[in-house]
Amino acid sequence: MSVSHPMHPRITLAAAALGFVVVLLDVSVVNVALDALRTSFSTDIAGLQWVVNAYTLIFAALLLMAGALGDRFGARDVFITGFALFTLASLGCGLAPTLATLIAARLAQGIGAALLVPNSLSLLAQAFPDKEQRNRAVGWWGAAGGTALAAGPVVGGFLVMHFGWRSIFLINIPVGLVGLTLILRYSATSPRNEGRSLDLPGQATAIIALASLATALTDAAHLGWTHSHVLVALLMTVVSAIGFILIEARSRAPMLPLSFFSNSSFSVASITGVIVNFAYYGLIFVFSLFFQLEQHLSPQETGMAFLPMTVVLMVANIIASRLITSLGARPLMVFGLLLAATGYLLLLPVSVSGSYWQLVVPMLMAASGIALIVPTITNVTLSSIEPSRAGIASGVLNTARQVGGMLGVATCGYFVRDTTPAAFMHGMHLSLIVAVVLLFLGAALSLFS
């Protein structure tokens, strides 16, 4: 039996932050290992897409359910389960003998990540009942995640360069063991709400819809859009998506309350979340391939190439939270979307033989714009829904963002499926154009909604 120590909120914060850190590290760290994975498993772009998207897919699909599980079975126990599963899955990734095994382990990591994120916040709410202290704790939690996101490419590049790609997964094991030890020894038992219902039919149809869509987008790259496998996957996407909406509309305790979308501010924030992550994660995937396959940079050099972009993300996130109060959410969203779109637009002249330094300013502009948007749409989401439902609303936004990231990697990966220089650059330019168009549309939507 584990002993609970309710008098150690700061240690609970440290454990919760470690859980968030490993989740965000594994969002960003894999990109610098793409070439090493391609060589190790003799795979193509579609295989690399699955390594990235298997994690994001299940993470997105289970986020809403994971919060409900925490309510029903206790946030502490679900957090511990998620951390243990994530740590074991990381070991599976690090030891994976085949690409299929690695993808399966990445799926398991995604399940663990989904259990970790919402329940880490629940633990903070429990450990810091005072609102001011809780806000400060959530700030530290977010700063730890931002630091992990910024450090991910650099740390990953160093590990891949000196210890091989397996080390980027194995490094999670000591972190996981420390986090589990802290939470088991120093956190209080969480209350349980046995009456909290679980929307299992909604969850099942959501997973089928997202998995089918990811399969269709990925398989189309090498089978073509008219292949029977792709057409069946698209049909399953449509049928399961319709089924999901019907289930949520009729459920007494829906996983995704459709009534939220009657609020235009909430709807715009959710759509913006999809667009922003589509652009950011889709183009991070493309530029990771560009640096490694086309410009032949080492994993460590690739990580350093992303450093200015990830650092400005962290700094601008902090600035944005202060600007919301003085400028208002709508102007900040519009400005952030336009800034990101302009940054990506200025990357269109990029070429294989071009200098890295020509990319720095546009990349900083794009990252700054995105960093201004993310805390702003979070603020809009929480402000547009009554406080008692803030947890579900936040979960919906985070799910929308993860779905956007998955679609970005799948779509942009399709564009750059041919890695010969001329074809790859054509696909890279297409990816940039799509991202720019979506960001401009998002700006117009935010301005006129």
Q: How far is CA 246 from CA 204, 242, 257, 395, 400, in A?
A: 13, 6, 12, 20, 19
Q: Exposed/middle/buried for 158, CB within 10 Å: 0-12, 13-18, 19+? A: middle
Written as one string, the DSSP assignment of 390-416 is HHHHHHHHHHHHHHHHHHHHHHHHHHT
H helices then E strands: how many in the chain? 16, 0
| Residue 345: predicted pLDDT | 96
The model's pTM? 0.85
CA distance 124 to 268: 28
Q: Tell me how many degrees the CA angle 241-243-244 measures, rounded to the nearest 5.
A: 65
CA distance 270 to 377: 8
Q: Alpha helix (H) ranges present in 251-298?
A: 264-289
Three-state secondary structure readout of 7-34: CCHHHHHHHHHHHHHHHHHHHHHHHHHH
Residues of the chain under the 70 pLDDT cut: 1-7, 131, 193-196, 314, 317-318, 321, 387-391
CA distance 266 to 384: 6
Q: How far is CA 124 from CA 146, 265, 388, 422, in A?
A: 17, 27, 17, 50
Q: Residue type at 261?
A: F
CA distance 329 to 124: 26
| Residue 283: predicted pLDDT | 94
Architecture (CATH level 2) of domain 259-449: Up-down Bundle (1.20)
Contact between 64 and 197 (Cβ < 8 Å): no
| Residue 35: predicted pLDDT | 92
| Per-residue DSSP letter, 101 | H
1-184 has which CATH code? 1.20.1250.20
| Residue 432: predicted pLDDT | 97
